A and B are shown apart, each in its own frame.
Chain A
């Protein structure tokens, strides 16, 4: 899923201080699961902002709503009839949701309430970690199911680099060396000999380098 984390409230206040009528808009998908932008976080943020502005002697109208998804036309339409009731929307969706709303409601300022961090998994209570960078041409079949693109700080395709120490990355003891994980997994699979196959120079045109990416499926089109 897409992992996000809450922006510091001071940053949100700075962006909305000049608006009077504000909608805090949550999303019921990834950001709910990673506890950054679901219904609960919308309530908490709205309450905190109300209190802040009342204390400043500048009470504002701050409403709450959480959509099923913000990356979907159908659900975003649910706020159309009330859109003119607001001077700005604080969206707690990922960057995709914020932009989709901005494209739909051209004259309403959209303020992101979270930082979109990565594609990752909920590894433990309160811990979300990256697993994919959507490079567009998956190499996992060759690397024991562990991704060197997203999990090696140097994206080394023929690793590990010389900085791997005791299974950890040169960045520090909190970061696993992706190549140690790959080698451990190849060994578990009985495929350690595959380590010596040289990974060819990668086609990065399917990654960020190729410009904004699209998937077109004629079989799915109406």
Chain B
């Protein structure tokens, strides 16, 4: 498969390896040490690291700045960009800024509504939606032009991804929605956290029926549960999350001090099962504020060492 960018993630996926990505949330302050520390912990266990963009609408250090810190220490970042906070001028501008540091991957999202965060009274922008942002980056890269039509000197060479939530409603359009994102130019997909494996496999079956797994790389989203409390919170409070009771019961069935380990075990078992599912091209391990556990999950899931490309 020919390569479109210098992205390490693209090279690994196109070489036929299962890709592994993880996620780092930038700090709520200007000290870069935290993000560097997280980067150091997981560097050798993943192919690229997503850097979230003011996730849950809480104001944080910018994703782009945090990506640069990672890039400078030799970690491959995936710049997450939401359409909530910036219009098409700012988005294109930040894409060029990222490309100037040879940040080679981007994930296009709409972003959580601002009412969940610390600026509930703020405006949102949504000049573009997430699919249109995918189109925009691809247009900038492939046509070498701005949305306004002018030529870009040294166009950004981004490997472009989008999110998919197999569990949001209505289920019947979840696959058509993926098809739409692929039609807009999404080259890789990172899914919402998967706990309901049966439902995910049902979604993947429909994806495969339409041959969509051959048009994009689907990376299954995994988040280990730290406790039964977290599992209940995810089930009841996080929009679009599907946590089966069996997960909650299993965590509740072990003593409190062992729940975290149980959560890791559940995650590793899920990865091992999903590795066998046709169309799954890799794993996106989002260990939320628990990055130190990523190496263990990757190793125990048989995904270590990472391939050299």
CB-CB < 8 A to B110: which residues of A? 154, 156, 161
Tell whether A166 is near chain B: CB-to-CB under 8 Å: yes
Tell whether A54 is near chain B: CB-to-CB under 8 Å: no
Q: How far is the CA of A18 from the CA of B83 in the complex (A)?
A: 47
Tell whether A26 is near chain B: CB-to-CB under 8 Å: no
Could you tell me which residues of chain A, from 141 to 183, have a CB within 8 Å of some CB in chain B?
153-167, 170-171, 177, 180, 183
Q: How far is the CA of A171 from the CA of B88 in the complex (A)?
A: 25
Name A158's contact: one of B129, B136, B239 (CB within 8 Å).
Answer: B129
- A198 smallest CB distance to B (angstroms): 6
Q: Does A196 contact B179, Cβ atoms closer than 8 Å?
A: yes
CB-CB < 8 A to A154: which residues of B? 83-84, 110-111, 113, 124, 126, 129
CB-CB < 8 A to A153: which residues of B? 113, 124
Q: Does A170 contact B240, Cβ atoms closer than 8 Å?
A: yes
A-B pairs under 8 A by CB, number: 92
Known: A163-B112, A165-B168. A195 touches B129 (CB 8 A): no
Name B180's contact: one of A161, A183, A198 (CB within 8 Å).
Answer: A198
Q: Which among A161, A165, A171 has the highest number of chain B CB atoms within 10 Å?
A: A161
* B side interface size, CB within 8 A: 36
Q: Does B131 contact A167, Cβ atoms closer than 8 Å?
A: no
Q: Does A164 contact B170, Cβ atoms closer than 8 Å?
A: yes
B192 nearest CB neighbor, chain A only: A162
Name B168's contact: one of A157, A163, A204 (CB within 8 Å).
Answer: A163
Q: Does A183 contact B115, Cβ atoms closer than 8 Å?
A: no
B179 nearest CB neighbor, chain A only: A196
Tell whether B176 is near chain A: CB-to-CB under 8 Å: yes
Tell whether B58 is near chain A: CB-to-CB under 8 Å: no
CB-CB < 8 A to A158: which residues of B? 129-132, 180, 184
CB-CB < 8 A to A189: which residues of B? none
Q: Does B240 contact A157, Cβ atoms closer than 8 Å?
A: no
Q: Does A198 contact B113, Cβ atoms closer than 8 Å?
A: no
Name A198's contact: one of B116, B131, B147 (CB within 8 Å).
Answer: B131
B127 nearest CB neighbor, chain A only: A204
Q: How far is the CA of A209 from the CA of B26 in the complex (A)?
A: 31
Q: Does A162 contact B132, Cβ atoms closer than 8 Å?
A: no
- A99 smallest CB distance to B (angstroms): 22
Tell whether B163 is near chain A: CB-to-CB under 8 Å: yes
Q: How far is the CA of A164 from the CA of B147 in the complex (A)?
A: 30
Q: How far is the CA of A170 from the CA of B240 in the complex (A)?
A: 8
Tell whether B183 is near chain A: CB-to-CB under 8 Å: yes
Q: How far is the CA of A124 from the CA of B56 in the complex (A)?
A: 34
Q: Does A201 contact B147, Cβ atoms closer than 8 Å?
A: yes
CB-CB < 8 A to B150: which residues of A? none
Tell whether B73 is near chain A: CB-to-CB under 8 Å: no
A-B contacts, 26 of them at CB < 8 A, read A154-B113, A154-B129, A155-B129, A156-B126, A158-B129, A160-B168, A162-B163, A162-B165, A163-B239, A164-B168, A164-B169, A164-B240, A165-B168, A165-B240, A167-B169, A167-B170, A170-B240, A171-B113, A183-B173, A195-B173, A195-B176, A196-B183, A198-B131, A198-B135, A199-B129, A201-B147
5 further interface pairs, Cβ-Cβ under 8 Å (given A158-B184, A201-B147): A162-B192, A163-B113, A166-B169, A196-B176, A200-B132
* Interface pairs A-B: 10 shortest CB-CB: A162-B165, A170-B239, A163-B239, A158-B131, A155-B126, A162-B240, A156-B129, A201-B132, A162-B168, A154-B126
Chain B residues at the A interface, C-beta cutoff of 8 Å: 83-84, 88, 110-113, 115-116, 124, 126-132, 135-136, 147, 163, 165, 168-170, 172-173, 176-177, 179-180, 183-184, 192, 239-240
